[in-house]
Structure 1
Amino acid sequence: MDLQQLSQTLERDALGVVFINVLLQQLGLPVPAVPTLLLAGSLAATPGALGKLAAGAILASVLADWGWYHAGKRFGYRVLSGLCKLSINPSSCVSQTEARFLRWGPASLVVAKFVPGFSTVAPPIAGALRMHQPSFLIAAGAGGGLWAGLALGAGWLLRDTVRQVIAALERNTTEALTVVLVLAATWLGWKFWQKYRFRRLSAVPRIGIDELRAALAREPRPLLLDLRGAVMVAQTGPIEGARVAEHSQLEQAVGDWPRNQPIVTLCACPQDAGAILAARRLLDLGYLSVRPLDGGYEAWLASQPQGQR
């Protein structure tokens, strides 16, 4: 659908288009809603019509967030881990996003729409952490209203400019498409460069679960750093003998540990991303022996006796 067709569709049923577009984006589909909101705002005939569009966008946003909230409340860390695996950059681990949510509290839901990669993950984290539902709905509504209101309001205030831009794009479709493709290719190139860079960082030597078990059975024992998020620790319990740590407070977690003594990092991230990044950081800080556990928490859990899982 080109811009002219989108404009005509919005003129016929702006509220329906805005509602569906926002709902699909907030559910996690790659369908950007801001351009639609800008265009819909520029086509609104009256402030009352603009208000209806804002109400529709807020309702769609809250419904999607509410669905993710209940998914997180019911399935907990499995939902968060699944969302993390969808990321093109595996270093964007759920535990780091979760730590951000814990620091910001309900306010994180207000700003979530403006933080790439956080909008879809924040609601299931809120559910998994059993955030009070009325507080969640108020914060999600405020965030959706701020995000949609700014986009619709910008379209309304700059309606003449938006229409001029649309007309110019219609006259220069080939050039506009070229610019869009170049921007998309640049963005994808950046993301794949991040993935390549992470793979290079992943060259840190790892430790297998059998070797770790043997090391824990003798002195000096290695320090086992548990980098799982608070949601998973609360749901599955702490690992006996491990020290719970956050990426943002990694130095404090190992501050009393001798730099010549071994450290093992463990997470529940795709490709052990969080454990690898923590190990690399500790090595850069001067610790001589830091290795991530190969397979992370799943490997640790699988090594437990059947009755202790």
Structure 2
Amino acid sequence: MQQLIDLFDQHGPLLVFINILLEQLGVPLPAIPGLLVAGALSADGRLYWPTVLILAVLASGMANFVWFLAGRRFGIRILALMCRISISPDSCVSRTSNAFTRWGAASLLVARFIPGLSSVASPLAGAMGLPAGRFVLFDTLGTTIWAGSAIAAGALLHRQVDAVITALESIGSLALLVIVSLFALYITYRWLERQTLLRFVRKHRIDVVELRRLFDKGQAPLIVDVRSASLREGDPRRIPGALEMELEEVRHMLADVPKDREIVFYCSCPNEASAAKATRLLQQQGYTKVRPLIGGLDAWLAEHPQADAANDDGQPLNHPA
């Protein structure tokens, strides 16, 4: 542990740069502890905080611009990759797109403060067509606020940070074991939470073949698109006749639908997370024939590449390039 502290004392700004760059590229290495330690060392006169801040903003900006360009190039599809990197893959699409819908570019100012959103906000900004200059401006401001706050907190609490470091030094390698164990417990909790959702989806799901069969028999269920508004704007294709609503609107917008009516929810998020949540919500309200579409919109489009996505008058939409 002492060797690690000495290394940080000598090369703190560089370590912060590498840590933030890797974190923003998708490696699960939290950057806040390093910024707190850098702030504490700056308060003790052992580091120059402006250098740390500049390198933090530079590292974040480099990684975020790479993801921004990926979002510009691949569109909404890049979010599937990003959300598999995220610790909370099943909810990061909807949460990030909802934030972007409400606040636009200003969401980049707060994205770094919200776990699970910071790495996804940049590709979403690119996918939604935010101008590059505007992205760089808001991303830089947001990162400066975030990193500056962490450094300032470390400086203000430098005595407490020093006490924690001293305590960690006293227990040596056991400290690293405790930290790794806590992180492993958190990952395990998230994994178990995700498995619960997956079991629910497998138990109640409907696939595109069965849904197509219901269409052909003239027994089409009520189909509901629960993608966020920004995701629908980025990809306007949909299943013919689908109603569009936010996940938060499901409860009251479907309140007048008979509880024995067959309803199918779909989204474009990993593991059909939003569709599964909507299904569970209505089941808790007493609805008996509610199911998520396995594979979501992507599965439907794969089976029906020409006649699947339609606008309100039933005419096929052109697939975006």
What does the per-residue CA deviation read over 1:105-131, in whole Å, with 9 as the maximum and x for residues that have no partner? 233211111111111011111111112
Number of aligned residues: 307
How many Å separate the matches in 2 of 1:42 and 1:158? 7
The 1:182/1:225 distance shift into structure 2, 3 A limit, reads: same
Kindly state the Cα deviation for residue 241 of structure 1 after the two structures are TM-superposed. 1.1
How many Å separate the matches in 2 of 1:87 and 1:59? 22
Specify the SS of the correspondent of 1:224: strand
How many Å separate the matches in 1 of 2:163 and 2:94? 45
Listed as ranges, the matches of 1:103-182 within 5 Å are: 103-182=102-181
Specify the SS of the correspondent of 2:204: coil
Q: Is the 8 A contact 1:23 1:60 kept in 2?
A: yes
What residue is the counterpart of 2:195 in the other structure? 196
Kindly state the Cα deviation for residue 203 of structure 1 after the two structures are TM-superposed. 4.8
The 1:145/1:174 distance shift into structure 2, 3 A limit, reads: same
Specify the SS of the correspondent of 1:36: helix
How many Å separate the matches in 2 of 1:151 and 1:82? 29
How many Å separate the matches in 2 of 1:168 and 1:288? 56
What residue is the counterpart of 2:292 in the other structure? 292
Q: Is the 8 A contact 1:128 1:231 kept in 2?
A: no
How many Å separate the matches in 2 of 1:305 and 1:182? 47
What residue is the counterpart of 2:312 in the other structure? none
What residue is the counterpart of 2:282 in the other structure? 282
What does the per-residue CA deviation read over 1:77-134, in whole Å, with 9 as the maximum and x for residues that have no partner? 1210111223455532513431232123233211111111111011111111112333
What residue is the counterpart of 2:302 in the other structure? 302
Amino acid at match of 1:249: E
Q: Is the 8 A contact 2:109 2:143 kept in 1?
A: yes
Q: Is the 8 A contact 1:109 1:143 kept in 2?
A: yes
What does the per-residue CA deviation read over 1:28-81, in whole Å, with 9 as the maximum and x for residues that have no partner? 112222121122222226599212211221122122222211111111112101
What residue is the counterpart of 1:269 in the other structure? 269
What residue is the counterpart of 1:21 in the other structure? 19
Give structure 1 stretches of 5+ with no counterpart.
Answer: none
What residue is the counterpart of 1:58 in the other structure? 57
What is the TM-score with the length of structure 2 in the denominator?
0.85
Q: Is the 8 A contact 2:39 2:158 kept in 1?
A: yes
Amino acid at match of 1:298: D
What CA RMSD, in Å, does the superposition of the two structures yield over aligned residues? 2.6
Q: Is the 8 A contact 1:93 1:274 kept in 2?
A: no
Q: Is the 8 A contact 1:26 1:61 kept in 2?
A: yes
How many Å separate the matches in 1 of 2:47 and 2:6? 20
What is the TM-score with the length of structure 1 in the denominator?
0.88
Amino acid at match of 1:36: G
Kindly state the Cα deviation for residue 235 of structure 1 after the two structures are TM-superposed. 4.2
How many Å separate the matches in 1 of 2:59 and 2:184? 30
Amino acid at match of 1:23: L
Amino acid at match of 2:132: Q
How many Å separate the matches in 2 of 1:259 and 1:149? 52
Specify the SS of the correspondent of 1:91: helix
Kindly state the Cα deviation for residue 16 of structure 1 after the two structures are TM-superposed. 2.0
Q: Is the 8 A contact 1:227 1:266 kept in 2?
A: yes
Kindly state the Cα deviation for residue 220 of structure 1 after the two structures are TM-superposed. 5.5
How many Å separate the matches in 1 of 2:166 and 2:88? 37
Amino acid at match of 2:148: G
Q: Is the 8 A contact 2:112 2:142 kept in 1?
A: yes
Amino acid at match of 1:277: K
Q: Is the 8 A contact 1:224 1:241 kept in 2?
A: yes
Of the structure 1 ranges 238-247 and 160-169, higher mean CA displacement relative to structure 2 is found in 160-169
The 1:305/1:203 distance shift into structure 2, 3 A limit, reads: closer
How many Å separate the matches in 1 of 2:19 and 2:28? 10
Specify the SS of the correspondent of 1:106: helix
What residue is the counterpart of 2:310 in the other structure? none
Q: Is the 8 A contact 1:222 1:262 kept in 2?
A: yes
What residue is the counterpart of 1:5 in the other structure? 3
Give structure 2 stretches of 5+ with no counterpart.
Answer: 308-315
Q: Is the 8 A contact 1:88 1:191 kept in 2?
A: yes
Kindly state the Cα deviation for residue 183 of structure 1 after the two structures are TM-superposed. 2.0
Amino acid at match of 1:38: L
What residue is the counterpart of 2:41 in the other structure? 43
Of the structure 1 ranges 69-78 and 182-191, higher mean CA displacement relative to structure 2 is found in 182-191
What does the per-residue CA deviation read over 1:163-182, in whole Å, with 9 as the maximum and x for residues that have no partner? 33323321221442353244
